[in-house]
Amino acid sequence: MEILALLAHGFEEVATWQSLLSIILGSALGICIGGLPGLNASMGVALLLPLTYGMTALPAIAMLLSIYCGAIYGGSITAILLSTPGTTAAACTVFDGSALAKKGQPGKALSMAATASFVGGLFSVFVLIFMAPPLAQIALMFSPADYFSLIFFGLSIVSSLSEDHIVKGLMSAVLGLLISTIGIDIISGTDRFTFGVAELLNGVSFIPALIGLFAVSQLFITVEKKTSEGTEGAKYISTAIINLKDFLSVKWCLVRSSVLGTLIGILPGAGATIAAFIAYNEGRRWSKHPEEFGKGCLEGIAAPESANNAATGGAMVPLLTLGIPGSETTAVLVGAFMIQGLRPGPLLFRDNPELVYGLFAALILANVTFYVMGMLGARLFAQVSKIPEKVLIPLILSLAIIGSYAEHNSLVDVVFMFGFAVLGYFMRKFHFPVAPMVLALVLGPMAESNLGRAMVISDNDWSVFYTRPISLTFMIFGLASLLFPIFREIRNKRRRESIHTLERA
């Protein structure tokens, strides 16, 4: 009850013109930044931090939090409309969002993404408000071995991402893992596969890989045939949004993904991307129609979008309760706090409770704001699907080039982007799925660094992965997730062969 009273007071604190305008402006800017490939939430918060110098603490941090929440949602817009995720957290949304848009229902896809993001974000804010301190203690229990097992679980979904041809999917993932080893080894400092090129010492950035593999490779396939004068096939594009029936059809998926996203977001370093992939995999596993995933089903959009926005609230748990930034974006937020003369951590609750609960109220309002903007904008954004290909092609290329260049101000990243586009072109031609490679590029470095740390801490004792309960649990889930689709594919293949034999007989 005391928490509710404090929260009510927090709403009073945030109900000023300056704070409300900050939240609205922050949400709008966040959506725009998240929607631009190559700019992610942390970059957006860092770029717009100077805007807050003249503000007092609550509106300043409320604006940055709104940018954070809006950017994570905004990545889904280009993921759905242009098959180019605006942020890595929206990479999973491409599979079903883009497919549904190509079926002529971009409005439904966009509104589903907005709704799922809102539900996930709101859920995690309430968890943050009511359960932050005990959850923070759980986060502290995770050791590098547990992180490695969690990442292994995240990587294990490659089997389900490649059910058409599992060997090709696994090859795509392993090749991605190999590419992720390029650069300096974080434990030993040895440079690997760099060919003496200085720009490769930091490894291959996954944003150019993401853009090249998803968007530009598809573009290379599109130009094989002469593009049409109007929209693709001139088919009807519906701007209808989801209705209550659609929402109810994904309700359990939303609940499950919100919980997963919040819990994974709490873990420092885990982040929205891994939350989205794991939620997508679990959404597919628990779905009544798993065969529809990847073909434009609403659950395939709801799962990753609710998880990635749920991770935003989760990431605030270690930041506010322990002063530990859980992600790149929250690391920038620590800077924002310090600019305002504040230090996030347990003392913030004691010394500035009205600010803390004001921020909780601001987070709730930020989620509501981007949801309203997203739903109002869904029909408008859906018009992008009507843009002729001859206009879309330069749009995608321009965004791809600047998006790849923006991260490190390096032309090498643009070269990589086109290189991955060529690789992605041939992968698509020979039916190799590109999603496992992207997943491996994102998670590979995290897996290796946590494995190395786990070995250092345990003094090279490998039993740490099965003696620690958390690690053992994720290892079992990961093995099941990896092997189950393989066994299912073998069983289905034998059934098809026996049916074929019977027919011939």
How far is residue 399's CA from residue 103's CA, in Å, rounded to a whole number? 24
Nearer Cβ to another protein (422/480): 422
Looking at residue 141, its amino acid is M
Residues 6 or more apart from 267 whose CB is under 8 A from it? 139, 142, 147, 150, 314, 326
**Shortest Å, Cβ 137 to another protein:** 28
Nearer Cβ to another protein (295/390): 390
**Shortest Å, Cβ 145 to another protein:** 12
**Shortest Å, Cβ 164 to another protein:** 9
Nearer Cβ to another protein (36/355): 36
SS (H, E, C) 308-321: HHHHHHHHHHHHHH
Q: Which residues here bind another protein, judged by CB under 8 A?
A: 33, 36, 39, 47, 167-168, 170-171, 174-175, 177-178, 181, 185, 187-188, 190, 192-193, 216, 219-227, 389-391, 393-395, 397-399, 401-402, 405-406, 409, 411, 414-415, 418, 421-422, 425, 429-431, 448, 451-453, 455-456, 460, 462
Nearer Cβ to another protein (33/128): 33
Look up residue 183 and give its DSSP letter: E
**Shortest Å, Cβ 394 to another protein:** 4
The per-residue b/e assignment along 470-504, b for 16 or more CB within 10 angstroms, e otherwise, is bbbebbebbeebbeebbeebeeeeeeeeeeeeeee
Nearer Cβ to another protein (217/287): 217
Nearer Cβ to another protein (73/432): 432
Nearer Cβ to another protein (2/459): 459
**Shortest Å, Cβ 249 to another protein:** 31
184: β partners: 191
CA 179 to chain centre: 21
What element of type H or E holds 192? strand 191-192
The pair of three-digit structure tokens given for residue 11, joined into one six-digit string: 């709403």
**Shortest Å, Cβ 426 to another protein:** 9
Distance between first and last Cα of the chain: 74
**Shortest Å, Cβ 152 to another protein:** 13
